[in-house]
Structure 1
Amino acid sequence: MRGGVFTLLSSALLLAQDAVAIAPDAVSVAGFKAPSWVLRRDGGSNYACKCYPGDYCWPNNGQWQKLNNTVGGNLRVNIPPGAPCYNTFKGPLGDVKTYNKAECDKVTSNWYNEQFQIELPAAGLWTYFTNDTCRPTTTPTDTCTLGYYPVLVIMAKTTAHIQAGINFARENNLRLIIRNTGHDFLGRSVGWGSLVINTHSFQDIKFSDQYRGACNYSGSAVTVGAGVQAFQVLKQANALKPPKIMVTGECATVGVAGGLVQGGGHGPLTNFHGFLADTALQFKVITADGILRTANSKTNADLFWALRGGGPAAFAVIVEATYKTFDDKPSAGLNLDIDTSHTTNATLFWEAVRIFHGYSTHFVDNGLYVYYELGTAGQNLHVHPFVGIGKTPEELQAVLKPMFDDFAKIGIKYTSSAANFNTFYDLYNAMFETEVAGNSALTGGWTIGRKDVEENHPAVISAFQTVLGAGSFMVGHMWSAGHGLPKNQWANSAVNPRFRNVVDKLITIVPIGGNAPLADKAAAQHRLTYVVDAALRNAAPNGCSYINEADPFQPNWQEAFWGDNYPQLLQIRKKWDPEGVFYSVSTPGTEKWEQIETGTRLCLKL
């Protein structure tokens, strides 16, 4: 199936697009130069929209053929991952017979495997924003449609392929998506009617003992291609002598040169070195005009600043990134669980949660990173793990002793286990749990400021109870992005200044099927925005929101995501992408953009 159907030249799917309607005069949209807009009316408002299959401006077969030649035959028609389980994929470019039992069995058995989904051309690891279409099934006669998956994919192998894709999308006013791993909670790796540029093949990793570049830095560094994932670079860094480490996310499958750094990039080393964005030394990028550029503190410095936390898929496509690396250290870790096997008394359980979370400032001030889940299985506090980088088990236990003493005072039982490791990398592989793909949910989140814990902690715990009571659950990350980073470096990246005083970053999850009735989806979104996350926002007014793990539809998202940095980011966006070639929900400059007609067409409100 993949050898024929996915190769554009061996299919006839695009031939139907040669018979298009006579094109009307090009629509002029103030401030945007794209030659072809599609006028629509939705909800009483007028819109100018990107071009989609069936529109007069959708490229014809000859144009797609020319693009395919330009990108070395790497343009593919996209078919949803679950299609081999169906007799027919009913796509926007034509029907395709897709049933293949062996392929279906493979997809079904690997559906929840992150790396399997990552290696696919245009899958989203979490399926809500795909419209949850065409999931694996045991009934081949069911209907498989494209849903909100992209229409076509460029499997880019060179920078020239990326440039060609950007130019083609700009010249034809297509919705463009940049995908590396699809590791995204907000659906930014998929999009109805879109063209995707897949950058996952860019796998180069190069280490340097003494980086010499524009930044005032001469230590060790690593340069990675756009497709490199955390587990890949960490493994190679650990093999160096002495072993090195870099700031990455908690999840090992995340790409380290794209959306992670553009959103900021927090992880277990954030206490010591800030965000991944704070460690960036240089980028090679392709901007919306299709030009390959270097961005660092001396060359295109405004772009360099914006790429360091100013918003994913907003300013340019990163093809290569250079980061600082650091000496790895012996580390200790400890797991903690309190659940119904320890107590069924809700009052006692929440008192234990209050004690645990009340020590968040103590934990981060002592250099700990804490990853925890709350309410994933009802009354459940799952801390896996407490991380003490550079600490012995005795030193880690000493930091945690006041918490355990308070647990003893209230008589709460718990399960705990500790371990010691030669390096943090060893701890990372042994103690962080594997995450899964393939589930459907809405994701929100908020952060808890130091002042909120110190002055308003009872309200914070009450907000936690509201979150769980609304059918949601939470994932917490305790760190301080201002703890180990010199204050004179805080403004060097575009991340929200409020993050420097955060001690806990929360992800909230509201389970909902992507194919649920529209009324149910609207109700779930309302519950996330105005019940779940609103409780956290009200209880923690000194917090902020992290663009990669948050509700993009929250009120005043500009302030929540970037604070005082937003006006400058908006001006930089207008400079580098004046035509709106790139789009990512709720990023600088997207105020006038909406996905109308049940979240399909991307349009400018007139």
Structure 2
Amino acid sequence: MQRLLSLFPFPLLALNQSTPLCRCLYGDACWPTTSDFSSLQSQISRPLIYPIPTASACYPLSSPSENCTDIQTNWHNGTWRAGHPGSMDSTNYESFISRNGSISACYVNTTLGVPCEQGNVPVIGVDARSVSDVQAAVKFAASHNLRVAIKNTGHDFTGRSAARNSFMIWTHHLNNITLNPTFVPEGAPAMETYDAITIGSGVIWNDAYNAVAAQGRMLIGGISAGGSVGAAGGWLQGGGHSAFSPLHGLGVDNVIEIKLVTAAGEYLTANAHQHSDLFWALRGGGGGTWGVLTSVTYQTHPTFPVTTVFFNATATNTTVIKKLFTEFVRIHPALSTASFGGYAIATSTSLNFLYSLPNGTDARANASFDSFFGLARSLAVEGLEIATQETGTYDSFNQWFQSIFQTIPTDGGIVELASRLLPTVLFAEDEYEAFADKLFTVAGYQIIWNFVAGGAVSKVDPDSTGLNPAWRESLVEAIWGVRWNEGATYSEIERMRAWLAATMEQVSAIMPGAGSYFNEVRHETGSLFEPTPKETYFGSHYDRLKEIKDEYDPNGLFIVGAGVGSDEWVDDLNCRRSD
């Protein structure tokens, strides 16, 4: 192991190991010995893995391996990345920025002339193929006081599935899928049945959608390019939204049962009848916090035809786009009532969206946008150019998904995000105009507009799950962010982060106390980017979540940035606070 890791000459973190308050990291005197790892190897079904940064095969520059071409070709392919333990979908989280501003990374752009280093990628781990593998990994990490990173696909906008000098539990190959039209949760009465799908924690949404489509069903899941987001991990634990959440609710509203390994190495079934407190926490309390999920069971729904409205317009005059954006905001309460959902992007010079109506028709969809389309046509004299305005109907949810999102299998890239859940009250007739103006002005060059709340989401008792109650009072999730190129300097990155933090303050001033989606935010080590993470991410549920956390993980084996209990640890999450 030492020989393999020496290929990446990264500096080691220096910790004072005289105190038991700190995790044991690679390079520390307490790090498990070769004999310790041999003992672990004897307990698991597959060889230990040594994750390496994605671009490693392109180094050394003098003699890259044949795999370098494959890496360059698939660099932005999320499904391909999910199959590599060292790969994160947001590539910036493979890198590590130290407090002195130095950057440890491995760039695919080899012309930068920067050596390939381990960065934020864990150094060793278990490729879990069974529950017993997971249990062995968890018990080993706990007994040696290791920093743990849990990873299924690496789709994480905050980098919680990687950690520098850590031990990885990789669940990517727990990918069994079982369909059961009469599923009974453990401990439930025999008459409590669901048409359900049980998926291992390594399954991606595209495979889950295809499995239920064969039975004429659909399920609420993540909508992303290529469908490569993990279906039974952080997506669910953070809340889990979909373009069809206004019809059938969020992921946490559709899960029936969760099986996981806790910090004590116990294999538990959590549902409404067994470990119901943990089941409550798992539904919205944040990924990487409660244990290692091994499988999740969701209820499925009959599939339906989907009518989709595509629209794209541009203008060089910002005032024209702002007028159109204001009308776009105004019509959302009515769109919510009709069960529309979807995604939009607004910039200072463009507005485009893809909104979908289940069980709809072209006529109904066009009627819902009549006033918006009328305004768009009238703005032509002021310079608005409508590039696309069309509707299309698909026979089923899966046909809709495969036709649109499988044609854009591009993921990956450097991105850091800010987000806010937009309360429904701000869309009222006497509020929307001022609200739209302020949001458009503050958020800057681009707003990603996820219309994934309202409708069925708002009809669920806010206290029935551990999810931030703000979700039940909101209509839209707004996201904006920053990107930079590989090789950007520390000062360049910090300048963009400062802009992101400033806009977050301004947006917070527009809607004080508004919540945020735990899965789509930036939380960088040492950052004051989100000054009140407990309230923003978990709302009034935080105290109860913390009580449950202390019961099932009293030693804090599973700690992630901004997660429940993380405030008891210093910024790098390697040592407990002494105060």
Is TM-score (shorter-chain normalized) higher than 0.5? yes
Say if 2:414 is the partner of 1:445: no
Q: Deviations along 1:480-502, whole A, 9 cap, x unmatched?
A: 34x22584644321111121121
| Equivalent in the alignment of 2:539 | 563
The whole-number CA distance in structure 1 between the counterparts of 2:438 and 2:143 is 48
Contact kept? 2:95, 2:106, Cα under 8 Å: no
Say yes or no: does 1:111 pair with 2:81.
no
**Which of 445, 448, 457 does residue 475 from structure 1 map onto?**
448
Residue in structure 2 matched with residue 381 of structure 1 by the alignment: 351
The answer on 1:248 being equivalent to 2:221 is yes
Q: Partners of 1:344 and 1:76 in 2: how far apart?
A: 52
Match of 1:164 in 2: 136
Q: Does 1:434 align with 2:404?
A: no
Using a 3 Å threshold, how does the CA distance of structure 1 residues 203 and 244 change in structure 2: closer, same or farther?
A: same
Residue identity matched to 1:221: A
In 2, Cα distance between equivalents of 1:14 and 1:106: 24
Aligned pair partner of 1:573 in 531, 545, 549: 549
User: Does the aligned pair in 2 maintain the 1:86–1:137 contact within 8 Å?
Assistant: no
Map 1:87-126 onto structure 2 (within 5 A). Answer: 87=60, 99-126=63-90
- Give the equivalent residue in structure 2 for 1:496: 468
Native 8 Å contact 1:443 1:507 kept in 2: yes
How far the C-alpha of 1:514 sits from its partner, in A, is 6.9
Confirm or deny that 1:545 pairs with 2:524: no
Alignment of 1:292 with 2:264, yes or no, is no
- 1:322 and 1:205, CA in 2 relative to 1: closer, same or farther beyond 3 A? same
Greater CA deviation, 216-225 or 397-406?
216-225
Once the 2 structures are TM-superposed, how far is the Cα of residue 549 of structure 1 from its aligned partner?
0.4
Q: CA deviation at 1:100?
A: 3.7
2 CA distance for matches of 1:464 and 1:232? 37
1 CA distance for matches of 2:77 and 2:211? 23
After superposition, what is the alpha-carbon deviation per residue over 1:523-550, rounded to whole angstroms, capped at 9, x for unaligned? 3333212x22223222233631000002
Residues 586 and 287 of structure 1: CA distance in aligned 2, closer, same or farther (over 3 Å): same
- Offset, 1:139: 4.9
Q: Distance in 2 between matches of 1:580 and 1:262?
A: 17
Aligned to 1:325, which of 279, 291, 300? 300
Give CA-to-partner distance per residue, 1:18-57, whole Å, 9 cap, x none: xxxxx99963xxxxxxxxx3xxxxxxxxxx4311122121
1:128 deviates by 1.7
What corresponds to 1:5 in structure 2?
Answer: none
| 1:227-265 deviation per Cα after TM superposition (whole angstroms, max 9, x unaligned) | 11111010111111xx10111012121111110110010
* Aligned-partner SS, 1:277: helix
**Secondary structure class of the residue paired with 1:581:** coil
The alpha carbon displacement at 1:284 in A equals 0.8
Identify the range of structure 1 (459-468 vs 398-407) with the bigger mean alpha-carbon deviation: 459-468
Question: Is 1:57–2:34 an aligned residue pair?
Answer: no
Aligned partner of residue 602 in structure 1, secondary structure: coil
1:589 and 2:565 are equivalent in the alignment: yes
| CA-CA distance at 1:465 after TM superposition | 3.3
Q: 1:512 to 1:557 in 2, by over 3 A?
A: same
- How far apart are the structure 1 equivalents of 2:469 and 2:152? 28
Cα shift readout 1:74-102 (whole Å, capped 9, x = no counterpart): 212222111111118xxxxxxxxx94442
**How does 1:44-443 map onto structure 2 within 5 Å?**
48-87=21-60, 99-131=63-95, 133-139=105-111, 142-213=114-185, 214=187, 217-240=192-215, 243-251=216-224, 252-339=227-314, 343-375=315-347, 379-383=349-353, 385-411=354-380, 412-414=384-386, 415-432=388-405, 434=408, 436-443=410-417
Map Cα deviations across residues 264-303 of structure 1 (whole Å, 9 max, x no partner): 1000221122111111111111000011011111111100
Report the number of matched residues. 549
Cα shift readout 1:351-410 (whole Å, capped 9, x = no counterpart) = 1111112212221121100211223xx622121x11011111111111111221232344
CA distance in 1, matches of 2:126, 2:80: 19
Equivalent AA in structure 2 for residue 416 of structure 1: Q
DSSP 3-state at the match of 2:417? strand
Aligned residue for 1:605?
577
Check the 8 A contact 1:128/1:513 in 2, yes or no: no
User: 5+ residue gaps in structure 1?
Assistant: 1-7, 16-22, 28-36, 38-47, 89-97
Post-superposition offset of 1:435: 5.5
User: What is the CA–CA distance in structure 2 between the aligned matches of 1:446 and 1:321, rounded to whole Å?
Assistant: 28
**SS of residue in 2 equivalent to 1:206:** strand
Contact kept in structure 2, 1:227 and 1:257, CA below 8 Å: yes
Q: Is the 8 A contact 2:219 2:299 kept in 1?
A: yes
User: Matches of 1:151 and 1:401 in 2, distance apart?
Assistant: 56
Letter in 2 for 1:562: F
What's the TM-score once normalised by structure 1's chain length? 0.85
Shift of 1:58: 1.0
1:400-441, Cα deviation, whole Å (9 max, x unpaired) = 112212323444441212111111221122234635333112
Aligned-pair distance for 1:122? 2.4
Cα distance change on mapping 1:254 and 1:69 into 2, 3 Å: same
Aligned partners of 1:202 and 1:226 also within 8 Å: yes
Q: CA RMSD in A?
A: 2.6
AA partner of residue 180 (structure 2): S
The change in CA–CA distance for 1:168 and 1:365 in structure 2 (over 3 A counts) is same
SS in 2 for 1:70: coil
1:211–1:221 CA contact under 8 A, matched in 2: yes
Output the amino acid matched with 1:450: T
Distance 1:62 1:364, change over 3 A: same
Helix, strand or coil at the partner of 1:181: coil
- 2:567 is paired with a residue whose SS is coil
Instruction: Determine helix, strand or coil for the equivalent of 1:491.
Output: coil
The 2-side partners of 1:141 and 1:395 are apart by 57
Q: Does 1:460 align with 2:444?
A: no
Aligned to 2:100: none
Kept in 2: contact 1:544–1:561 (CA 8 A): yes
Mapped partners of 2:343, 2:310: distance in 1: 10
Letter in 2 for 1:65: S
The whole-number CA distance in structure 1 between the counterparts of 2:157 and 2:112 is 29
- 1:306–1:437 Cα change, 3 Å: same
Q: Secondary structure at the match of 2:68?
A: helix
**Is the contact made by 2:278 and 2:548 (CA closer than 8 Å) also made in structure 1?**
yes
Q: Equivalent residue of 2:67, what SS?
A: helix
After superposition, the C-alpha distances for 1:534-572 in whole angstroms (9 at most, x for unaligned) are 232222336310000023341211111111111100110
Cα distance between partner residues in 1 of 2:552 and 2:541: 17
Give the equivalent residue in structure 2 for 1:517. 489
* Deviation sequence 1:329-350 (CA, Å, 0-9, x none): 11111110012xxx32221121
- Separation (CA, whole Å) in 2 of partners of 1:25 and 1:420: 62
Distance 1:468 1:301, change over 3 A: closer
SS across alignment from 1:108: helix
For residues 459 and 579 of structure 1, the distance between their equivalents in structure 2, rounded to whole angstroms, comes to 48
What code does the residue aligned with 1:114 have?
A: G
- Separation (CA, whole Å) in 1 of partners of 2:125 and 2:543: 34
| Letter of the structure 1 residue corresponding to residue 142 of structure 2 | R
Please state whether the residue corresponding to 2:570 is helix, strand or coil. Answer: strand
